[in-house]
A and B are shown apart, each in its own frame.
Chain A
Amino acid sequence: MSVVAATRRHESRRARTVTIGLAVALVALFALSLSYGSFQVSLPDVVRSLLGQPTPPQVDYIVQTLRLPRALVGVLAGIAFGLAGAIFQQLLRNPLASPDVIGVTSGATTAAVLSIVVFSTSGPVLSLVALGGALITALLIYLFAWRGGSVGGYRFVLVGIGIGAAMAGLTSFLLTRADVRAAQEALIWLAGSLNGRTWDNVVPLAIASLILVPGAVLLGRPLTGLQLGDDVARGLGLHVERGRLLLLIVGVCLAGTATAAAGPISYIAFMSGPIAARMVGGGRPVLLPAGLVGAVIVLAGDFIGSHLLGPAQFPVGVVTGVIGAPYLLWLLATANRTGRGG
């Protein structure tokens, strides 16, 4: 076997091993979150309930109505945030360029809070509104960052952070003007929480994931060219603008629908890609593993927040924020030192 084939095989094998390992961890966490809680359900009972076989009283209600939607939202939102972050970071070649740092998620949040507070919407309508917010914000960033026919990665990040701050300000303003109860509801959602998720949250997210996740994985092919810079990519026969636009649209839609379903769970998009890239190694675009890392972090964070921090229940976004904020600071410090900030 040639050296080239051997190296390529080694890299593919490592990516496959990591993907399988993450999938196994995810299934284990999923089972744990269905079974563990103030009312313990044994794993065999969980499986029986999922398969529609007879179970002890209350088990069906607890598993299918209370815990399954919550766990599914966690998995799907985690995958969506992880994929969206990895797409943005790898496309713009900047670890800071994830949708939760550059304001795309903030835009979805502002739109969602507006519709919760003013129109008391929920379910599929809320999803669409949040998605619209994400798309409009991304378009704004794109327009402001556009200069002379190209969009530079660093410029995109700076403009995005600015627009994100403006959106956050708008969200705060909406909350101060809102009715207390509506504001309370919006605040819980704002922390990024899986509490009280129902099938109404699962369905739109699942439908979006069915389209967007395979789309993202297919777009991994143009991404391998775009990673090398626009000129090299064009030289290899790629349609640079079309590829970039499609990747950005898929990324924004993933971030928007995930935000609608679970709230802006902090730093999942930001952390998942780099963690997955480190696990997989090499320089290939890391998409599916990033999504799986996102889902694992969300389920683990939700489990920690619900069961391991004493009697009080913390939303998953609080837990992930505690991990993500130091990482952001570390990245800012080291990126400036090595001069790779842009």
Chain B
Amino acid sequence: MPAPSTLRAEELSLGYGDRHVVDNLTLEIPAGKVTVIVGPNACGKSTFLRGLARLLPASSGTVLLDGRSIHSTPSKDVALQLGILPQGPIAPDGITVADLVSRGRHPHQGYFRRWTAEDDAAVTAALTATGTLELAARSVDELSGGQRQRVWIAMALAQRTGILLLDEPTTYLDLSHQVEVLDLLTDLNETEGATVVMVLHELNLACRYADHLVVMKDGAIVAAGDPGEVLTEQVVESVFDMRCRVVPDPVSRTPMIVPIGRHRTGGVS
């Protein structure tokens, strides 16, 4: 795996048609760290991630990969440095796990340079890392949601990029599988030094697994930095429009958000 490249959004604006979703956003992704982007629904966090991965064209501003504009770099070269697992990827009917994960090798191949031992090793390593090697010959249709998600992550790993972006990799998973996926991504970060950027919904897990936490609202960054410094009661209240207490997580000592609704508050007001 190559040394992680640097990734930086510079005055980036993104939108669909006339609708502006992300406005004039500048952010440096720390290399070799785990960055987690959080924010309320429709705050533009997924759009921002898609923009970082050049899945969406920038309406203004740019994304720099190793100091070069991602939009003017050949897409295949980008794919050797930066992998993205978007939300809701589609598995063709009947595809086997081995075949799906093998497709992560696409940027390493060409019309005349087909399957090699290196491809084989990368796919086997990705399956092993995600604990899906014994599923290799199975059809993806037959797998459970958790297994399927791990297989998709394996496909992204097989691409062997120094930067890995993931859009809500834990959606549709139960809590134990969420923790499993986040542990897996942390392993990848620690053993291979990969830069991981992901969008997460669950604030407590986000705080626990992030080295760098980015909080977004209305297409802009509200706060970014160490989760312990960033996620204060005031920030949660202003961003999520919800009162809460922030206490140290008894396990990881990272911030843990305890929401305060209208009912069952035990007298706290």
Contact = CB atoms under 8 A, between A and B. Distances in A.
Interface of A: 2-8, 10-11, 90, 93, 148-149, 218, 221, 224-225, 227-229, 231-232, 234-239, 277, 281-284
A228 B92 contact: yes
A234 B55 contact: yes
Given A3-B124, A93-B92, A284 B99 contact: yes
14 contacts: A90-B92, A227-B90, A227-B92, A228-B91, A228-B100, A228-B103, A232-B85, A234-B75, A235-B53, A235-B79, A239-B75, A283-B92, A283-B99, A284-B95
- What is the interface of chain A mostly: helix, strand, loop, or mixed? helix
B86 A232 contact: yes
A3 B137 contact: yes
A283 B55 contact: no
A237 B94 contact: no
Contacts of A90: 92
A148 B15 CA distance: 12
Interface residues of B, number: 48
Given A148-B16, A148-B17, A231-B84, A236 B96 contact: no
A3 B102 CA distance: 12
Interface of B: 16-17, 50, 53-55, 74-80, 83-86, 88-104, 106-107, 111, 115, 120, 123-124, 127, 133, 136-137, 139-140, 159
Contacts of A231: 50, 55, 84, 86, 89
B102 A8 contact: yes
A42 to B, nearest CB: 44
A236 B103 contact: yes
Contact of B124 (A4, A221, A283): A4
B113 to A, nearest CB: 11
A11 B16 CA distance: 40
Given A4-B136, A228-B91, 17 more contacts: A4-B101, A4-B120, A4-B123, A7-B98, A7-B137, A229-B89, A231-B50, A234-B54, A235-B55, A235-B83, A236-B79, A236-B159, A237-B106, A238-B106, A239-B75, A283-B100, A284-B95
Given A231-B55, A236-B159, A239-B75, A3 B99 contact: no
A36 B164 CA distance: 63
A11 B159 CA distance: 21
Contact of B84 (A2, A221, A235, A281): A235
